[in-house]
Amino acid sequence: MEILRPPGAAAEVSVRTLAARPRTLRDRRVAVLDNAKPNADALLNSLADGLVRQAGVASVRRWRKPSASRPADNLEEIAAAADVVVTGSAD
């Protein structure tokens, strides 16, 4: 028998181009956006420390989302203050 497909059509998503990556992290400013999950701060801060020690980044600044279930409200500010961003998604 013929049926109609339950998922229907996907919404159109305009594909966005990722920002060009730097060739090296040396002397770059890193932003850490903590997604507010338990221990995300420990994980992301340790990763940032690793970037300082192993990749020679210039600075690390940290932000925190109000809750993991809500978008950050200060993305513009973060983008202006950083050359690269490391963030968490979900758990």
Partner 1 sequence: VPTVVVTTVAFEALALTAARALGLADLPRVTVPHPIGGIERGRVVAYAAAAVPRLVEALITTPAPVAAPADERVDARLEAPDGLEEFQEFVWIQGWGDGLPVLPPTPKRVERLLGSACPDDVIAILPPRPGRATRQAIAVNAALAGADAEHMPIIVAAVRAVAEPAFNLQGVLTTTHPCAPLTIVSGPVARRVGINGAENALGSGVRANAVIGRALQLVLLNVGGARPGTVDRATLGHPGKFTYCLAERADASPWAPLHADRGFAVDASCVTVCAAEAPHNVNDHGSSRPEALIAMLAGTAATLGTNHLFAGGEPLVVLGPEHAEVFARAGWSKDAVKRAFWEHARVRVDRVPAENLARFVAVRPETFRAAPPDRGVPLSACAEDVLVIVAGGAGKHSSIVPGFGWSRAVTVRIDE
Q: Which residues bind partner 1 (CB under 8 A)?
A: 1-11, 13-16, 18-25, 31, 36-44, 46-47, 49-51, 54-55, 67, 69-70, 78-79, 82-91
Rounded least distance, CB 74 to partner 1, Å: 13
Count of alpha carbons within 13 angstroms of residue 3, beta-carbon side: 5
Rounded least distance, CB 10 to partner 1, Å: 5
Q: 83 CB contacts (<8 Å, ≥6 apart)?
A: 22, 28, 29, 30
Q: Round to whole Å and give the CA distance between 91 and 37.
A: 6
Residue (27 or 67) nearer to partner 1, CB: 67
